[in-house]
Amino acid sequence: MAASETELMLKGYGLTTAEMLYRMPDYRSVLNSFVWQDYDLAPDYPRLFKFIEFWQGEIEGPLHSVRFTHRKMIAPGEWRNVVGEFRYH
């Protein structure tokens, strides 16, 4: 059973987005872009590297480059102490 996004974030996962530039199999001088997104664990990124290994083994278009970013969605909230209250009417 797959865990929900909230459960994954509570376990330390964050949203990882990767843009992969790859060469077209028939036209090696043409680069194409593919965007991949999943919840992954920093700094090892096991899901991202598993996908890259799958790509290299199963997809004909060789990878040119991979750029990725990682964002933890659950962080301490901003808290502000309110010391006064104004009433109008």
Predicted confidence pLDDT, tens digits, the chain (89 residues)? 567 888 888 888 999 999 999 999 999 999 999 999 999 999 999 999 999 999 999 999 999 999 999 988 766 565 566 676 666 65
What pLDDT does 44 receive?
A: 94
Q: Hey, how many other C-beta atoms are within 10 angstroms of the C-beta on 32?
A: 12
Q: Is the separation of the CB atoms in 9 and 71 below 8 Å?
A: no
Strands 63-71 and 14-23: what pairing?
Answer: antiparallel
Domain boundaries along the sequence of the chain = 5-71
Give bridge partners of residue 32 from the DSSP assignment: 22
pTM for this model (two decimals): 0.76
